[in-house]
Amino acid sequence: MASTEGATSSFWDELTSPVNLVLIAIIVYLLYKILRSHFETVTPAAPPPPPMPKLRKDLTVAELKKYDGTGPDGRVLLAVNGVIFDVTRGKRFYGPGGPYSAFAGRDATRGLATGQVAAGDKEYDDVSDLTADEIASAKEWEEQFREKYDIVGRLLKPGETPKIYSDDETEDKKSQ
């Protein structure tokens, strides 16, 4: 019987070693997490908010400023090369608190062309002083926005009159 006591004592010593106690604790924790996740009831995700109606109109710089994501509808618009895009779907980037929120409700042409995310103070920026490379960069950004976001209309220069869009008029994203 002495050999049985020695075996039990040796087994107990192995089981209670610090390394084995840590491993046992990890195994028990993982089993707990697995069993808990297995028996948890899955709550259905909240349905996404209904899509906003399409906005189709030309805007002045002053009118565009209202669409910076802080309005009641949360709509975010920005303009590139005179074309206004509805970037509300990308609100986490362009909306309040986003990394590109300085572009929300503004003409983003200069900032995108130069790579500087800063809000401009100009009423209307004709961007005529951009270099050829910066103009090409702005054009590339415009094409990317055309592929991803809906076109709202044109950014009006001072003195320009807005175009009246019909309700059934669709915008060909490759035109304009």
In terms of domains, do 94 and 138 share one?
yes
**What does the alpha-carbon distance between residue 117 and residue 55 come to, in Å, rounded to a whole number?**
26
- CATH at residue 103: 3.10.120.10
Same domain, 106 and 75: yes
65 and 34 in a common domain: no
- C-alpha 36/C-alpha 128 separation (Å) is 63
Give the number of domains in the chain: 2
Residues 20 and 80 in one domain: no
Please tell me the pTM assigned to this model. Answer: 0.67
For 84-113, what is the mean pLDDT? 91
* Residue 171 domain flag: no
Q: Which residues is 78 bridged to in the sheet?
A: 85
Query: Does 84 lie in the same domain as 14?
Result: no
- Between 78 and 118, name the one with better pLDDT: 78
Mean pLDDT of the 141-159 span: 93
Q: Residue 164 falls within a domain, yes or no? A: no
Alpha-carbon distances of 93 from 101, 104, 155, 172, 174, rounded to whole Å: 7, 9, 21, 25, 24
Which residues form the domain of 128?
61-154
Please tell me what DSSP assigns to residue 103.
G
What are 46-90's pLDDT values in tens digits?
676 677 888 899 999 999 999 999 998 899 999 999 999 999 999
Which is nearest to 67 in space by CA: 58, 56, 76, 55? Answer: 76
